[in-house]
Amino acid sequence: MRLKSDLRRAAGIAATALFLLPSASALAQQPAPPVVQLWPNGAPGSEQRHGEPETVKDNAYYSNIHDPSLTVLRADPRHANGAAVIVVPGGGHRMLVYINEGLAAGKNLNRVGVTAFVLKYRLARDEGSRYTIEGHAASDLRRAVRWVRAHAADYGIDPQRIGIMGFSAGGELVSLVADNPEPTASPRADAIDAVSARPDFQILIYPGPLGTPAKAPQSAPPAFIAAGSLDKCCMPPALTLYQQLTNANVSAELHLYADTDHAFNVGQRGERVSLQHWPDRLSDWLSDGGWLIPRGNRKPDGVPAP
């Protein structure tokens, strides 16, 4: 009887947790958070399309992006810990899955005291686009890291605890920025371009193949990587990057979920219990690495295993 009671209680807790997870429509209907443009006068190479409206489909999928921006999701000040993550949605470089791989991911990070910045970047495969992934889109992410670091004091952020988190195509950008050398520096547009674009940690969720194999794994930051075992596109680069990082003595954690394909978002898609809880595994990793604790109170190498 005690076992049945415990099982019923556990099922009730799980059902309640799923019920409380915001849906895409609910997130889209919430008051709009503040948005900042990464280049207020127009992104380099996009000046002529500065101010052009974005295209939005089903209130969730964004395209026609010419003004890269960050949507700011601040952690509740009662438990904000000074860590920040720039969230990079996927969408095949044709669109941005802005709600399920952007706002929802940012809200999950807020729950553990992390301030999130959701990036809208230029899309190389949008209809009629002349942008490139390695050039324009990756540059947008580097600019985002620089911008957040330059404005860290404005948001109560530790400039040495800034991570980047990408889904699918967004994961490609994370790898291009975190695991590969930065291209030869171009002329600086302003003082922000003098700030470091290197993230302090990286989070790759079913990352696409661009950027892997990494060209500079030995200088990459610690990594959390997750993918589905059936994902023919994005499981191989996830595994390749993990092996490269660990061979280079870079701290890395890999989760490959059984019988799982692409695009499981932050647990909304699919019925596997493990997928509902992968954000919890990320929270564990962030905690073990010391990223959720102000630097003055944490060990520099995180919490070692016994």
Task: Read off the pLDDT of residues 107-145 as tens digits, 9 standing for 90 and up.
Answer: 999 999 999 999 999 999 999 999 999 999 999 999 999
- Please check whether residue 110 lies inside any domain of the structure: yes
Range of the domain at 120: 34-297
Identify the pLDDT of residue 31: 77
Alpha-carbon dihedral of residues 93, 94, 97, 101, nearest 10 degrees?
-10
Instruction: Tell me the pLDDT tens digit for each residue of 178-234.
Output: 999 998 876 777 899 999 999 999 999 999 999 999 999 999 999 999 999 999 999
- Please check whether residue 42 lies inside any domain of the structure: yes
- Please check whether residue 16 lies inside any domain of the structure: no
Instruction: Tell me the pLDDT tens digit for each residue of 267-300.
Output: 877 788 998 999 999 999 999 999 999 876 655 5
List the structure tokens of 211: 């950027």
What's the CATH number where 104 sits?
3.40.50.1820
Predicted confidence band at 304 (pLDDT cuts at 50, 70, 90)?
low
Closest CA to 288 of 275, 301, 278: 301
* Alpha carbons 66 and 265: distance in angstroms, whole number: 25
- Please check whether residue 255 lies inside any domain of the structure: yes
Please report where in the chains the tokens 């992006």 appear, as a residue.
65
* Alpha carbons 204 and 224: distance in angstroms, whole number: 6
- Please check whether residue 9 lies inside any domain of the structure: no
* Alpha carbons 229 and 206: distance in angstroms, whole number: 10
pLDDT, averaged across the chain: 89
- Count CA within 13 A, CB hemisphere, residue 225: 31
Report the percent of the chain where pLDDT is more than 90. 79
List the structure tokens of 232: 């023919």
Q: Which amino acid is at 177?
A: V
Strand partners, 257: 228
- Please check whether residue 153 lies inside any domain of the structure: yes
* Alpha carbons 26 and 70: distance in angstroms, whole number: 20
- Please check whether residue 302 lies inside any domain of the structure: no
- Please check whether residue 234 lies inside any domain of the structure: yes
Buried b (16+ CB within 10 A) or exposed e, 233-242: bbbebbbebb
Strand partners, 202: 164, 223
Checking if the pLDDT of 19 tops 60, the result is no
Closest CA to 141 of 101, 184, 171, 161: 171
Q: How many domains are there within the chain?
A: 1
